[in-house]
Structure 1
Amino acid sequence: MRIEEEESPVKRVERMISENPVVVFSKPACFMCFAIKILLASIGVHPMVIDISSTDDLLMFNSSPTVFIGGEFKGGIETIVSLHVGGRLIPMLRDAGALPISMPSFS
């Protein structure tokens, strides 16, 4: 790839969001970022986590965590927890392809 053809930071972020069912933009020392990753892991979701403090071109996400599901911006921890408590998060994650359509039965 030639220098003038390199992917811009905005295009790279758009590509990452479109190619992954769940993307979390996170800061390493952020407790809320840690909490959202634990919540998603407890459901069985392994999001693509992007450290926004490691590169200046990702600082456009000044609040963290910032969560995208199925290529769409969903918000931060308050929104994700609200979706989970309201029973809407798991269906949303299934629709995005982050969880299997049917969960195994353990009976």
Structure 2
Amino acid sequence: MDRVTKLAQQKAVVIFSMSTCCMSHAVKRLFYELGVSPAIHELDEDPRGRDMERALLALGFSPSVPAVFIGGRLLGSTNTIMSHHLNGSLVPMLKEAGAIWL
């Protein structure tokens, strides 16, 4: 859990992902298209990925990815991110976290 928490605070946007997950791909693409350069941690490519996956599951993620942190705060997974994007609240969150300067 400590590793996930520390990594989540290293950049304005941090995404825990799996390289083969289509939902993770969609979330990463959304952030790229918004001009965000997130820190991405591919759990299936990290030697400690299983431990981080268990920590995310303990936080209530099922499935464990994608897990998105903005400004060091856990925001959620695909449904939450897309809901914030569609209702217009995602961009202000990104601005507040310093991830974009539109």
Scaled by the length of structure 2, the TM-score of the pair is 0.83
Q: Residue in 2 aligned with 1:94? A: 95
Residue type at the aligned position of 2:32: A
Runs of 4+ in 1 over 6 A off after TM superposition: none
Q: CA RMSD in A?
A: 1.2
Separation in 2 of the partners of 1:59 and 1:88?
Answer: 27
Q: May I ask how many residue pairs the two structures share in their alignment?
A: 92
Q: Residue in 2 aligned with 1:58? A: 52
Structure of greater Rg: 1
Is it true that 1:68 corresponds to 2:55 in the alignment?
A: no
Q: Which runs of 5+ in 2 are unaligned?
A: 58-63
Higher relative contact order (CA 8 A, sep 6+): 2
Separation in 1 of the partners of 2:50 and 2:29?
Answer: 26
> Between Structure 1 and Structure 2, which shows a larger proportion of helix residues?
2
Scaled by the length of structure 1, the TM-score of the pair is 0.80
Measured after TM superposition, the shift of residue 59 of structure 1 is 1.8
**1:1-107 pair list within 5 angstroms:** 10-53=1-44, 54=46, 55-60=49-54, 61-62=56-57, 63-100=64-101, 103=102
* Conservation of the 8 A alpha-carbon contact between 2:3 and 2:52: no
Deviations 1:19-78 (A, max 9, x none): 211110001100000000000001001110001123322122342101010111111111
The percent identity for this pair of structures is: 38
Separation in 2 of the partners of 1:36 and 1:92?
Answer: 15
